[in-house]
Amino acid sequence: MATDNGEFSFAGSNGNSNAGRNGLAKIQTHGKKNEVCHDDSSAPVKAQTIDELHSLQKKKSAPTTPIRGTQGAFTPIASLASLTRETGPKVVKGDPARKSETPKVSSHHATPHHYAPTLSTSDSSLKFTHILYNLSPAELYEQAIKYEKGSFITETGALATLSGAKTGRSPRDKRVVKDDTTKNDLWWGKGSPNIEMDEHTFLVNRERAVDYLCSLDKVFVNDQFLNWDPEHRIKVRIVSARAYHSLFMHNMCIRPTPEELENFGTPDFTIYNAGQFPCNRYTHYMTSSTSIDLNLARREMVILGTQYAGEMKKGLFSVMHYLMPMRQILSLHSGCNMGKDGDVALFFGLSGIVLLDDYSDMEPETCHPNLIRDLLQRFLVIHILPIHDVCYLCFPPLDMFDLGTGKTTLSTDHNRYLIGDDEHCWSDNGVSNIEGGCYAKCIDLSREKEPDIWNAIKFGTVVENVVFDEYTREVDYSDKSVTENTRAAYPIEYIPNAKIPCVGPHPKNVILLACDAFGVLPPVSKLSLAQTMYHFISGYTALMAGTVDGVKEPQATFSACFGAAFIMLHPTKYAAMLAEKMKKHGATGWLVNTGWSGGRYGEGSRIKLAYTRKIIDAIHSGTLLEANYTKTEVFGLEIPTQIEGVPSEILQPGDTWSDKKAYKEALLKLGGLFKKNFEGFLNYKIGTDNELTEEILAAGPNF
Ligand SMILES: Nc1ncnc2c1ncn2[C@@H]1O[C@H](COP(=O)(O)OP(=O)(O)OP(=O)(O)O)[C@@H](O)[C@H]1O
Ligand SMILES: O=C([O-])CC(=O)C(=O)O
Ligand SMILES: [Ca+2]
Ligand SMILES: [Mn+2]
């Protein structure tokens, strides 16, 4: 929904009587709104900083610099205005610790602002906060190392950081404002990742975050872009308290040129990351001290109680899952690369902590014991939400993790151009990467198997939660002491054959990746369009759950569109768009199992990355399309009989199991889980074509 001046707007926000210049309700700082308790009843102090206030204490006996003169030199940042400070802190560059340095005024902020006569309402509004605006990686390194515990330079020059208590995303703590527009537009209720909150509660959390940020001596502001398609580029502002967060987003979002920054204007979306500070559990809708709050009408996101940087990345991805479909553009949780001849492939796959199951129709007593235990241990104020409501948001136990299906690993291919590793758009113009960087798993990373990722971990790259040698600073990628989910965030240019700008023509191959820990899905199968849709909607992979005795058990998980945690609309909306685009552009679907072979987890072994790469090569080159196929029982998948460089005996999973009976059992078990999961979609039509809906329903396991 681009407006005349090229900025997008959200449906519903423009007609709002409360709307400010950009269609947004402004933060109200005076009078009205009886639900807010104001502290501006007493006579205001005539000062805008604490220093000014102190200067008022002493009677002037000699001329000093006029107050207005110094103030006029700085532009305040409107985003950080709150009930306690109307204007927000002023933008300066440089480190406030270097007192001798005169702070340079940033020329980037063109927001015209008219100073009201000094009317300060609390001490908070007098406090000076430095805004460290779009610092360079080198400056951010210095800030991190000086002020953030756990920041170190690794042997290869990367910045090692700790993300704090949270080393992965917290999907249970995500909240989305339900208002008149989103109540109809978004997917709510059973199975949906969108847990509602109201506008007022959002403002409570926003105020908490903004006041926290303004209480600091300095905050970081990044102004950057999302989406390499210039027609659908989104301007984002990230306000954060840590150099780690600022560098992470510098790497992950698209970096503006100095000219683009000069003309940046008003951001389309703003994140307030106050992750070090918890939310208040006595606040309505809060069930823990972590909250990630999305307000589409205000175009804002607030983060409280988690420093895991992936929340910002995936929070913005959720926003794109709303904005892009509104423009008939499909947003995809996929990697993407392109061959020398311009053939594009998409790699879908699940990852991270995902919605595992849904217990909405269960009584609290029968609810998942892990969840109950977790609730009892973690929630001080269970009464805020009736336990039954919480139960319907059943998520995996906290010690559950995924193995990674291979989006990043397989899209990063030395023989092909990398368009992106995780988030893309498919529009009438072709594909475009949403991001400006990659976020690779580092666990067991090896130079031989993943040379391009290995080499990208250098100066400028953020490595999260890795363990390194105290003296040499050599990283031990096999060390899981902090977490399994160790990660590296680097600008996409760090991959030598990145395709810049990160756009490409319409995809020729759509590869669905599943890490099957049951060991029954074939290493590769060719899919019909209906099968592709069936597996896209199912979004299967295995998660590893730690049990009480520390034994790891694989568990099937289904995450619609291979990214249920990030979608905003009903999965069938995305599925219909994918089907339409694949049909129109003649793309072929493939299912690739990057998981177990020769038995389930614990018995067989993970398919060698080298073999998976050969399989992917054969898909890209077109030779696999020409191969001979046989059809499997239960799943009805077409399996090639031969692939160059891959032992033929591993292509048929049944042949690799020594215990055939166990194989059949595992196969039927997985088939049953697919069926059960798909029941949730039986009542939905996919697109306008009833024929396709019927076909998709028939394309699942049959037995
Ligand atoms: N046969 C295989 N194919 C793909 N990856 C494999 C294979 N065997 C082992 N791996 C490992 O599995 C992991 C795949 O993770 P990857 O980062 O590609 O996941 P992802 O799909 O990008 O997830 P996320 O969205 O969380 O980033 C890597 O650590 C890789 O080394
Ligand atoms: O967001 C994260 O933590 C990592 C990621 O890419 C995903 O989970 O899909
Ligand atoms: Ca990845
Ligand atoms: Mn991802």
Report the nearest-CA residue for atom 13 of ligand 1: 404
Buried b / exposed e over 358-380, threshold 16 CB at 10 Å, is bbeeeeeeebbebbbebbeeebe
User: What's the 575 CA to ligand 2 centre distance in angstroms?
Assistant: 21
| Cα distance between residue 561 and residue 700, in whole Å | 15
| Cα distance between residue 217 and residue 147, in whole Å | 12
Report which listed range, 75-84, 348-357, 467-476, is most confident: 467-476
From 167, 169, 251, 405, the mutation candidate for ligand 2 (largest count of ligand atoms within 8 A of CB) is 169
From 439, 490, 561, the mutation candidate for ligand 2 (largest count of ligand atoms within 8 A of CB) is 439
Higher pLDDT, 417 or 12: 417
Q: From residue 633, how far is each of 520, 529, 659 by CA, in Å?
A: 11, 19, 17
Higher pLDDT, 699 or 20: 699
| Cα distance between residue 250 and residue 339, in whole Å | 28
Contact at 8 Å (CB) between 251 and 436? yes
Q: Across the chain, what does the average pLDDT equal?
A: 83
pLDDT value for 687? 83
pLDDT value for 550? 60
The residues annotated with a catalytic role in the active site are: 169, 314, 333, 351, 407-408, 422, 487
pLDDT value for 45? 57
Pairing of strands 588-593, 75-76: unpaired
| Cα distance between residue 177 and residue 98, in whole Å | 41
Mean pLDDT of 466-490: 93
Q: From residue 314, how far is each of 277, 354, 583, 692 by CA, in Å?
A: 20, 12, 29, 31
User: What's the 695 CA to ligand 4 centre distance in angstroms?
Assistant: 29
pLDDT value for 298? 97
Give yes or no for residue 351 CB within 6 A of ligand 2: yes
Contact at 8 Å (CB) between 305 and 273? no
Per-residue pLDDT at 679 exceeds 80: yes
Give yes or no for residue 407 CB within 6 A of ligand 2: no
User: What's the 110 CA to ligand 1 centre distance in angstroms?
Assistant: 44
Ligand index nearest the alpha carbon of residue 354: 2
User: What is the pLDDT confidence band of residue 282, given thresholds at 50, 70 and 90?
Assistant: confident
Mean pLDDT of 59-83: 54
330 closest CA partner among 562, 575, 565, 690: 575
User: What is the pLDDT confidence band of residue 465, given thresholds at 50, 70 and 90?
Assistant: very high
Per-residue pLDDT at 95 exceeds 70: no
Mean pLDDT of 1-9: 41
Mean pLDDT of 607-634: 97
Neighbours of ion ligand 4 (CB under 5 A): 351, 422
Per-residue pLDDT at 242 exceeds 70: yes
251 closest CA partner among 335, 186, 166, 310: 310
User: What is the pLDDT confidence band of residue 245, given thresholds at 50, 70 and 90?
Assistant: very high
3-state secondary structure of 251: helix
To which H or E segment does residue 92 belong?
A: strand 90-93
From 314, 332, 353, 409, the mutation candidate for ligand 1 (largest count of ligand atoms within 8 A of CB) is 409
% residues pLDDT > 70 (the chain): 77
Give yes or no for residue 174 CB within 6 A of ligand 2: no
432 closest CA partner among 257, 157, 234: 234
pLDDT value for 370? 41
From 292, 313, 316, the mutation candidate for ligand 2 (largest count of ligand atoms within 8 A of CB) is 313
Per-residue pLDDT at 79 exceeds 90: no
Ligand index nearest the alpha carbon of residue 412: 1
pLDDT value for 349? 95
Contact at 8 Å (CB) between 439 and 476? no
Give yes or no for residue 439 CB within 6 A of ligand 2: yes
Q: What is the pLDDT of residues 174-207, one digit of tens each?
A: 999 999 999 999 999 878 889 999 999 999 999 9
- Give the ligand 1 atom nearest the CA of 513: 21
Mean pLDDT of 40-45: 50
Which residue do the tokens 């092909």 mark?
Answer: 416
pLDDT value for 542? 86
CA quadruple 632, 637, 639, 645: dihedral sign = negative
Ligand index nearest the alpha carbon of residue 441: 1
Higher pLDDT, 337 or 65: 337
Report the nearest-CA residue for atom 5 of ligand 2: 352
> Cα Rg for the chain, rounded, in angstroms?
26
- Give the ligand 1 atom nearest the CA of 606: 8
User: What's the 700 CA to ligand 3 centre distance in angstroms?
Assistant: 27
Per-residue pLDDT at 286 exceeds 80: yes
Ligand index nearest the alpha carbon of residue 407: 1
pLDDT value for 105? 39
Read off the tokens for 586: 């003649």
Give yes or no for residue 314 CB within 6 A of ligand 2: yes
| Cα distance between residue 343 and residue 130, in whole Å | 48
pLDDT value for 9? 41
Q: What is the pLDDT of residues 514-527, one digit of tens each?
A: 999 999 999 999 99
ipTM: 0.97
pLDDT value for 629? 98
Q: What is the pLDDT of residues 562-609, one digit of tens each?
A: 999 999 999 999 999 999 999 999 999 999 999 999 998 889 999 999
Q: What is the pLDDT of residues 321-370, one digit of tens each?
A: 999 999 999 999 999 999 999 999 999 998 754 322 332 333 333 333 44
Longest dimension (CA), the chain: 96
Give yes or no for residue 52 CB within 6 A of ligand 2: no
Higher pLDDT, 688 or 673: 673
pLDDT value for 425? 98
Q: From residue 104, how far is each of 95, 112, 527 by CA, in Å?
A: 10, 18, 59
User: What's the 228 CA to ligand 4 centre distance in angstroms?
Assistant: 18
User: What's the 552 CA to ligand 2 centre distance in angstroms?
Assistant: 21
Per-residue pLDDT at 48 exceeds 50: yes
Give yes or no for residue 566 CB within 6 A of ligand 2: no
- Give the ligand 2 atom nearest the CA of 333: 9
Residue ranges around ligand 1 (CB below 6 Å): 349, 351-352, 403-410, 422, 439-441, 443, 450, 594, 606-607, 609, 612
Report the nearest-CA residue for atom 1 of ligand 2: 310
Q: What is the pLDDT of residues 255-273, one digit of tens each?
A: 999 999 999 999 999 999 9
User: What is the pLDDT confidence band of residue 112, given thresholds at 50, 70 and 90?
Assistant: very low
User: What's the 255 CA to ligand 4 centre distance in angstroms?
Assistant: 20
User: What is the pLDDT confidence band of residue 547, given thresholds at 50, 70 and 90?
Assistant: low
User: What's the 484 CA to ligand 3 centre distance in angstroms?
Assistant: 14
